[in-house]
Structure formats: C-alpha cells, structure tokens
A and B are shown apart, each in its own frame.
Chain A
C-alpha cells in the first residue's frame, strides 16, 4: 500500500532539508554560527541516524536491540582505519604505520589493513562488515526464535563480547585508545572548517536519505508486516509469513544504517575507541527514541537532538547531577510518556478531555458521588 508522501509532510521535509543542507552550512561559511556549533550539530545528526536505526527495530518491529552502538562503532572503526592510514608519516612517530602499531612494536602493516588505503574499499567495509555481522547474528537469533527480552540480552552479550575483543591490543585495532589524531579525508584536511562543513552536509544528506527510505519502507506492505510482527508475532506466522526473515531484514538494514551514521561520526569527533561499543551507549540511543517518541520517524530525530543538546549543557553546568537527571527522566518517560515528545500533544489532549469530563459533572451527579463516597464511612 505505497502511498505518496503526504503533501504537508513533503513540504516539511523540504524545509528541513533546505535548512540542514543549505542554510546552516551557509550560515557557518559566513560566520553567523561558529564552527563548533556546526560541528556539534553534525554530531547530533549522526546520533539521529543511530536513533532512527534503533527505532526501526524497536518502535516498528518490537526488537529492542542493545547492539546498535556496536554497529555504529563498527562503521566508525572501518572508516577510522582509512582515516588512520591517511595520516601517513605525519603521526607522532613519523612512520608509515599508525602510531599505536609503532608503539606496540609492529614493523609491518597487518595485511587486513592494507586495502583500507583505498576509500572505496573502506566505504564498502563500513556497510559490509556490520551487514555481515548482523546477518549472521540475526540469522542465528531469529532462526531459534529468540525474541523479546531474550533478544535484548543476547545483543547485550554480543556487544560486550565485541568490546572485549576491541580492547585487546593483539586485534591491532588500537586497543583501548582506539583511533585518533586524524588528518585527511579524501585529501582534505579533516580539521579545516571547510571539510567539517562538507562532513556536516554529508551527514545531513545521509540523515534525510535514511529518513526518506524508512518513511517509504514503513508505508509498504513490508511496513505493515513489520508492525504486525511487533504486535503479534505468532499471528504473523499463522498468516503465512516467515517472521524471522522480516526481522532479519530489518536487523541488517538498521545495522547498516547505524554503521553509516558511525562512519560519518568518527571524522567529526576525531576519535573512536571501544568504549563507544557498549550496552550503555545502545541504551542511551534507546533513551533518545523513547524521549522523542517511538514508532514514529520524527521522534528519534527530535529525541536524539534534544537529549544530546540537554546533555551538552548539563554535563557542563552540573556534571554530577546529569546521570541522576537522565536516569530519572528516563524512568518517568517510560512510566508516564510512552509515546514520547511526539505523542505528548495527543496525550495532553486526552488528559484534558478526561479532566473536563470529570470536572464538570451535573449538580445531581455531584450529589450522588458525594453520597456514595460518604456512605461507607458513615456506616462504620
């Protein structure tokens, strides 16, 4: 049941696209907003991409994956390998090898690193490796019908195992320091405002693309089945659909989306290390989705940007209290705002109706209730 995007929605989409791809970069170029702000927003947009990938799984398919941060950082690592090789001899040790390898006493580039000199290969690996990992893991998990919280726990274990692996120095992936000190991307200085602007635009385009893709996908019959799996997976089986295949497709797709976001995140923040691939990071992304409103595509974007903007402010203004605030906020949202910010107007409207209905009983009714409530006490 593919439908053309709603007209008003298209207008909104165009407006946001114009703002992100043209207006903000122009404002940055002319010094209206500073480079730091643009860079920070570039980071938020990467988070928004990650959040969409989480929502595609959780909000639309009912799969709470705690492994999205893993795919995000895998994408980052793959691209980071390319960026690290592009440093060339400009590293601390003035060697062809990346600094950490010199430090660990390597004299030769491990062979699996060599193809990463080529941008197209690195770009391919950004998609391929997370895609492969999510395919294998998803195949195993869905085939044996691991679902609900078991799926969450298993993805948590996957993330944990992968992080342990990347922490090891003999992986030759930088150990716990990861990759940093990047210099060039495609021959441009990664620290120059111009390159940063380019990266911002690339991120914005990716986000818009991902949004449009997911918007389209969720409106197809696939989208219907996706939500059917979320609401009643058993019924889907009894409607003749191999639910596992649908889940696998969504899992791989969102793994790849997260990885793309991660790949653009790394050059903008300038570092990637294994502490990015933890369950907590995945759960943080889940928080953004919950705050914004799951089961919608705007929700994750709003959530990712607003929570992170708040976080940037709070970690500077009251660093000790931020975790308390975030924990509390999360508990309250899960308990009282299941539809997040996006669902808030509907929720408030509902409460308003409820309140008005209960607030204005007719005088007779009021008397009746009063009698009812007083009766038991007087009887005692």
Chain B
C-alpha cells in the first residue's frame, strides 16, 4: 500500500495534561538507519513506547508493513518483527547470557511449545554467532546481572539480533559506555543497517555523527518533528541550534 515500513501520522499523547507527543508524523523506509535526537522531554522515548504498544496514543495512526499497530499489544507488535532496546539496559539478570539470547530467538512463543521444545543445533549456532558479534562468547554462562553496564547494553542489542527483528528500535545504546565501546557500538549498528531497519535514539553527538553518515536524522522537540535531514543539514538548521544544539553546535 505504501512504500514505508513504518508510518506514524498525527500522533498525540498526553500524560495528565503534559503533552508528550504532539501531532507527530514520522515515516521510515525499509533498510534505513534513522537517528532521532532531541532535548530531554522531547518525546523520544514516549514515541518508542507508542510504537511498541507500551502506551496507546490518544489520537493518530501507526502502521507497520500495512499492519495497524493500534489494536495490538506489546507481544503482538513484537511478533511482527519490531524489537526494542530500552534506555536502561533491560535484560533478565537472573538468567545467563546464553539463556537471555535463547529466549529472544525467533520461533513459537506458545506455552505448550515452550514446555516440550528443546534447543536445536541451529539455534545453538545462531546464539553462538550473536555471542561472537556482541563479543560475549566467553561470558555465555555468566548471569546477565553480573555483566558490566556496557556489556548489558550489548547483550540487549544481541537479543535484538537473535530475534532477527525487521525494525530495531535502539534507545540510547551508547549511554554509560567508554569511548571505545561507543565507537564499536556504532560500527555494529552500521553493519546491521540495510539488513535491518534501525531507529537509534541518541544524545551523544559524536556517536550521532558516526552512525548517521549515510542516514537521516530526525529532531524531535516538544513532542513533534522539528526538522529532518542529513546530520550536517540538521546541525546547521537554525531552529535546531536554537532549541537543542545552542551551545553545543559550536563545540561539536
């Protein structure tokens, strides 16, 4: 019907009078790596909440591959192929790294299946591949709770990879990482672009510049899109400079 993988139109959402999302429209093409930036409270995380079904918009439409997302709940949306990494690392702390990835692998999500299924060699192989990518092979049997902050972030990205999601929603992947880790995360995301469609929310402008070399950047402000374009365009946009980059624009 339309060429966009994800299209959001006229979204509104308020929390006890506070308008978190204000007439937001957003379109995403397949294979894109989109970076979303914006000051605190611009509605970035709220937007992801709406896409993933965590909260429902007051008005507006949300479509993913011609599926109406509004009547769906979290796990139904997930099963369409939308994966999310949360702002604060959210992994199963009492499970091992291996188990975390195992739970994220594609396949049946039914209760009976979960009781009678056994891990298959190809599943094991896929997990090992992902472990390789996120560089946690040695820590496969560690409890996820025992990992360092950056490693948890990576594990959560690994869970998205294991899921083989079509659309990856990545909320502040570089938060709490060292510069080197951040750089590697950027490379990882860049290597995934094309195979997956990715939305990255980020604050760190160095990181944003790194990952949006070829992609587009969307700036959110007060719950709606302020401007959209290449990173250079966005950074030189006066409105953006005014509301967000202000002081930063000169230092970056």
Contacts and interface: CB of A to CB of B under 8 A. Distances in A.
B206 interface: no
Contact of A217 (B91, B103, B115, B119): B115
A232 interface: yes
B181 interface: no
Contact of A221 (B90, B93, B114): B114
Interface in B201-231: none
Interface in B43-95: 52, 54, 73-75, 78-79, 83-84, 86, 90-95
Given A224-B95, A231-B94, A238-B74, A249 B111 contact: yes
Given A222-B114, A239-B103, A227 B95 contact: yes
Contacts of B114: 220-222, 225, 246
B159 interface: yes
Interface residues on B, range: 20 to 34
B99 interface: yes
Contacts of A237: 73-75, 78
A235 B102 contact: no
Given A2-B118, A239-B159, A245 B111 contact: yes
B151 interface: no
Contacts of A225: 103, 114
Given A228-B103, A237-B78, A238-B52, A246 B92 contact: no
A63 to B, nearest CB: 15
B109 A238 contact: no
B104 interface: yes
A87 B181 CA distance: 76
A224 B79 contact: no
B115 A228 contact: no
Contacts of B119: 1, 221
Given A217-B115, A240-B109, A241-B109, A224 B75 contact: no
A228 B75 contact: no
Contacts of A249: 111
Most chain B beta carbons < 10 A, residue from A232, A239, A242, A249: A239
Interface residues on A, range: 20 to 34
Nearest to A235: B90
Contacts of A220: 114-117
Contacts of B73: 237
Contacts of A1: 99, 102, 118-119
Nearest to A241: B109
A343 to B, nearest CB: 14
A238 B102 CA distance: 14
B162 to A, nearest CB: 10
A222 B110 CA distance: 9
A224 B111 contact: no
Contact of A228 (B79, B86, B95, B111): B95
A232 B115 contact: no
A95 to B, nearest CB: 48
Contacts of A222: 111, 114-115
A246 B111 contact: yes
Contacts of B159: 239
Contact of A241 (B75, B86, B94): B75
A-B pairs with the 10 shortest C-beta distances? A237-B74, A240-B78, A222-B114, A222-B115, A221-B114, A240-B75, A228-B92, A240-B109, A235-B90, A249-B111
17 contacts: A220-B115, A221-B102, A221-B103, A221-B119, A222-B115, A224-B99, A225-B103, A232-B90, A234-B74, A238-B52, A238-B84, A238-B86, A242-B109, A245-B110, A245-B111, A246-B111, A246-B114
Given A221-B117, A228-B103, A241-B75, 4 more contacts: A222-B114, A231-B93, A238-B74, A240-B163
Interface of A: 1-2, 217, 220-222, 224-225, 227-228, 231-232, 234-235, 237-243, 245-246, 249
